[in-house]
Every structure is written in structure tokens, then in C-alpha cells.
Amino acid sequence: MMNQLKTVLLMSVLSVILLAIGLLIGGKTGLTIALVFAIIINFLTYWFSAKIALFIYGAKEADKKKYSRLYESVKGVAFKFGIPTPKVYIISKEYANAFATGRGPKNSYVAFTDGILKLLTEDELKGVIAHELSHIKNRDVLIATIAAVIASAISYIATIGRFGLIFGGNRDENNGNIIGMLLLLLLIPFIAMIIQLAISRNREYLADATGARTLRESKGLANALLKLENADKSGFRGNSAGASLFIVNPLSGQAFINLLSTHPPLKYRVEKLNSMKLN
């Protein structure tokens, strides 16, 4: 419940920032443009983000005969969650990772790399499946996508505002105000990005907890996370925009400040899982 409330609060703050920056730059007209801009992008993202994500990472629908055990595991965990079985996809790469995408339980996909299927035991893989299906049940993919779109819209509008101030008229008369506004328009997108990433980290904690409670077992996922964190990620080809989809940060080899990471520190996730009382 606390994680859900945090998400609602952070999303509300993002939305207020978006509307405020539109009002600041263009008055009521700017506010309207910001709102319409966000609605259009959210609509397009809602319908097409899943297919785009699967395409970007080269995911192909899994052969039901070749991956029969994986299909059965996904089906069994989906039954425990009380949701339709998502479509199962395979990424033919040796790095170990997995992600879920889709608009919600009735339109969902879960993708696994060949590497993760080779690396994990059956119980560990089931923990990963439960984590990913938690994202689907909680509609985390949609929430994270909307947060990213709002943050991007804020950045876009702030950029327009900065160009308007730099190349607009009366710079000499209002030099002090212009400098202050420029600093504000530089700071606001950074704050929006921090909030967006906080939402992503919050949903990871929630997915860990939801998966463990549904299976009534947390050790499998905790052990899987440790293995995945230590696994070779050199084969990953992607960018930071898609990193939040995966169960562990595929770019974690890079030096991230915690506030700028899409995922919580692994040690905290494992500690929370190991401390859960499920009986």
C-alpha cells in the first residue's frame, strides 16, 4: 500500500510540474498546449510501446514445443496471480535478463533471454516470472511509460522556453529575469527526471514484494537477483530509456548515482526479500 501511495504522489507531482511549466512559459495557452501534448503522446505510447520494446530487443514469440517448460511455468504463475497467461517471447542473446511489457493483464508480453534460461534454476526462474507478472498485474509498464512521457514533455517544453528566452527580444531590459528563468528551465527537467526514476525504483520494490507474496516464497527471487547482478552483461545492446523494463539494470556496469538509476540498489532489494514474513 505504501509503495502504491508513493507512486500516486510522485505521478501527481510530475503532472503538476508539466502543467506549471506550460503555464510559466505560455500562460493559459501554454498550459493548454502542454496538456494536449501530454495526452497525445500518452495515447500513442499506450497503444504502441509494447510492440516497440519487443522489436528493439529482437524478441520473438517462443516456440511452444521447444520452450514447453517455460510456457508451463508462466501459465502456472499467471494462474496464481489470477490473470490471463501473457504471450511468451525469447531474446536470442547470452546476457541474462527478462522484462514484461504491455498495456495490462489482457494485453501483455513477457520476454526472457536465452542467457537467463541457462543461468537460473527452476525455482529462481519462477521467482523472476512472478516479478514480471507482478509488473503486468500492477500495470507498472503503463505507469512507467506515462511517467517517462510526462518527463520528456517537460524537458521538451523547457527546451522551447530556453530558446525563446535566449533568442527573444528585450534581453537587455530583463537580463536578471532571463537568467533566473533560464536557471529554472534548466532545473525543472532535471527534477522531473529524478521523480521519473524514483517511480521506476518504487515499482521494482513493489514487483519484488508482490511476486514473493503471490508465490509465498522469496528466496528464489532473491537468489535469482544475485545471480543476474553478477552475470555478464556485455552482450546487451540498448539504451537507458529501455533499461527500466528489465528485472535488473542491464547498464549497471556503468557508474550510476543511486538517484539517477532506474533500479534500486540490489542489496536493498535482496534484504527486503529475505526479511519478508510470508507465513
Q: What is the pLDDT of residues 43-72, one digit of tens each?
A: 777 778 788 889 989 999 999 999 999 999
Structure confidence at residue 26 (pLDDT): 66
Structure confidence at residue 255 (pLDDT): 43
Q: Taking all residues of the chain, what is their mean pLDDT, rounded to a whole number?
A: 82
- CB within 8 A of 195, min separation 6: which ones? 10, 13, 14, 17, 147, 151
- Round the CA-based radius of gyration of the chain to a whole number and report it: 21
Place of cell 514484461: 100
User: How far apart are the C-alpha atoms of 228 and 250, rounded to whole Å?
Assistant: 9
Q: What are the pLDDT digits (tens) for 212-242?
A: 999 999 999 999 999 998 887 767 766 555 6
Judged by average pLDDT, the poorest of 5-19, 90-104, 143-157 is 5-19
Residue 103 has pLDDT above 60, yes or no: yes
Exactly one of 122, 124, 132, 229 is catalytic; name it. Answer: 132
β-pairing, 87-91 vs 59-61, is antiparallel
Query: In the chain, count of helices (H) and strands (E)?
Result: 9, 4
User: How far apart are the C-alpha atoms of 79 and 81, rounded to whole Å?
Assistant: 5
pTM: 0.81
Establish whether 132 is a catalytic residue.
yes
User: How far apart are the C-alpha atoms of 162 and 113, rounded to whole Å?
Assistant: 42
The amino acid that residue 196 corresponds to is Q
Q: What are phi and psi of 263, to 5 degrees?
A: -125, 150
- Answer yes or no: are the C-beta atoms of 18 and 153 closer than 8 Å: yes
Structure confidence at residue 3 (pLDDT): 47
Query: What value does the mean pLDDT take over residues 157-180?
Result: 64
User: How far apart are the C-alpha atoms of 12 and 199, rounded to whole Å?
Assistant: 11
- Answer yes or no: are the C-beta atoms of 148 and 198 closer than 8 Å: no
Structure confidence at residue 104 (pLDDT): 84
In this structure, the dihedral spanned by the alpha carbons of residues 182, 183, 188 and 191, taken in order and rounded to 10 degrees, is 160
Structure confidence at residue 28 (pLDDT): 65
Q: Per-domain residue ranges for the chain?
A: 2-275
154 pLDDT band, cuts 50/70/90, is confident
**169 CB-contact burial (10 Å; exposed 0-12 / middle 13-18 / buried 19+):** exposed
Q: What are the pLDDT digits (tens) for 179-215?
A: 777 777 778 888 888 888 888 888 899 999 999 999 9
Query: What value does the mean pLDDT take over residues 245-255?
Result: 72
Cα separations (Å) of 189 from 30, 162, 174, 196?
16, 12, 23, 10
Structure confidence at residue 116 (pLDDT): 96
Nearest to 150 by CA among 47, 50, 4, 45: 45
